[in-house]
């Protein structure tokens, strides 16, 4: 298929809209019939089901853009990290794990998750274990627990072709997402650097082009540099005391106001909230009279 790339038995399945959210890229392991994530392209998935056949689905994590077409694989084994079973189990738990608290935001996401991402409660048939090595026949894959983006995030290291599926550590210009209730900036940095040290010949990711071959040092460095860039802009902004609403309105993450607000305003607040927590812990900023300020 157009845009697909294969490294031995490991094939990148591009998502619709060039892999941009709300789509995501998948990985398919030929011979084993194993699919990693299910947010790419309905038509291509149906082709895979018809032949050569899909035998099992592995999930890198619980986010909606990786679950969209799971209904196509009903009845097949489904594996995920045990720590992330809760958000797949109910819609309200899913919203809680994102940290969505405002009723209007929760109403928006309930509708979007059902209508656009076909959400329904699910239970994995087995749980992936950190460090587990799975013999797929055509190759072996190591499950690497890489928390930060989500607490149970799993990257997949296909050892013989030396290919790593980084998932949502996607090396895009947008930079990392760490805005969930249980996400962590520090763990994101640690996990990305750990994955970077693997002796990979190719790095596959969940979004956009999704393929980096050879020395990807510059891509890794630029990706993590976005964290420092966001923080520097926030510190500049806090030269004058600001309310959280004023910080959100500055659009440091998304650069300009966007619609729907239930997505973008919440996302801006979520990521900026992580930076504010980090800066407060390091005594780089203070908080008084409902305003954050730089020392």
Structure tokens given for 174: 């947008």
User: Taking the complete model, does pTM exceed 0.75, yes or no?
Assistant: yes
CATH number at residue 65: 3.60.15.10
Q: At what angle do helices 185-196 and 261-281 cross, to 10 degrees?
A: 90
10-residue stretch averages of pLDDT, the chain, 295 residues long = 88 96 98 98 97 97 98 98 98 98 95 98 98 98 98 98 98 98 98 98 97 97 98 98 98 96 95 98 98 97
Flag whether 265 is in a domain.
yes
- Check whether residue 42 and residue 98 sit in a common domain: yes
Please tell me the total count of domains within the chain: 2
CATH number at residue 285: 1.10.10
Flag whether 40 is in a domain.
yes
Helix, strand, coil share (%) of the chain residues, nearest 5:
35, 20, 45
The pLDDT, as a whole number, for residue 158 is 98
Residue 149's domain comprises 5-221
Flag whether 264 is in a domain.
yes
Residue 204: strand pairing partners: 165, 211
Per the CB < 8 A criterion, the answer to whether 126 and 79 are in contact is yes
The pLDDT, as a whole number, for residue 1 is 52
- Check whether residue 10 and residue 91 sit in a common domain: yes
- Check whether residue 76 and residue 170 sit in a common domain: yes
- Check whether residue 188 and residue 162 sit in a common domain: yes
Buried-state track 46-58, b at ≥16 Cβ within 10 A, e below 16? eebeeeeebebbb
The pLDDT, as a whole number, for residue 281 is 97
- Check whether residue 109 and residue 185 sit in a common domain: yes
Work out the burial of residue 93: count CB atoms within 10 Å of its CB; fewer than 13 is exposed, 13-18 middle, 19 or more buried: middle
The DSSP code sequence of 112-125 is HHHHTT-------S
Flag whether 286 is in a domain.
yes
Flag whether 189 is in a domain.
yes
The pLDDT, as a whole number, for residue 112 is 97
């Amino acid at each position: 298929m157009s845009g697909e790339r294969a490294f031995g038995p490991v094939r990148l399945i591009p998502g619709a809209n060039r892999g941009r959210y709300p789509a995501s890229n998948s990985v398919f392991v030929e011979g084993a019939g194993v699919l990693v994530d299910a947010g790419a392209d309905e038509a291509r998935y149906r082709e895979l089901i018809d032949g050569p056949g899909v035998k099992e689905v592995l999930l890198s994590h619980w986010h909606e853009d990786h679950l969209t077409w799971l209904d196509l694989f009903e009845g097949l084994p489904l594996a995920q990290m045990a720590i992330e079973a809760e958000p797949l189990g109910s819609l309200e738990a899913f919203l809680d794990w994102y940290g969505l608290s405002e009723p209007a935001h929760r109403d928006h996401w309930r509708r979007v998750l059902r209508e656009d991402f076909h959400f329904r409660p699910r239970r994995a048939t087995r749980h992936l274990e950190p460090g587990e090595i799975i013999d797929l026949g055509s190759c072996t894959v190591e499950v690497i627990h890489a928390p930060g983006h989500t607490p149970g995030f799993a990257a997949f290291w296909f050892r013989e072709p030396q290919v790593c599926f980084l998932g949502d550590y996607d090396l895009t210009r947008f930079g990392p997402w760490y805005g969930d209730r249980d996400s962590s900036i520090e763990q994101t940095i640690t996990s990305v650097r750990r994955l970077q040290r693997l002796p990979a010949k190719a790095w596959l990711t969940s979004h956009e082009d999704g393929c980096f071959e050879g020395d990807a040092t510059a891509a890794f460095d630029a990706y993590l540099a976005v964290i420092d860039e966001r923080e520097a802009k926030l510190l500049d902004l806090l030269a004058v005391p600001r309310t959280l609403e004023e910080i959100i309105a500055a659009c440091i993450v998304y650069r300009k106001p966007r619609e729907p607000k239930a997505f973008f305003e919440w996302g801006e607040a979520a990521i900026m909230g992580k930076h504010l927590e980090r800066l407060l812990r390091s005594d780089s900023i203070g908080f008084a009279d409902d305003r954050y300020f730089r020392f």
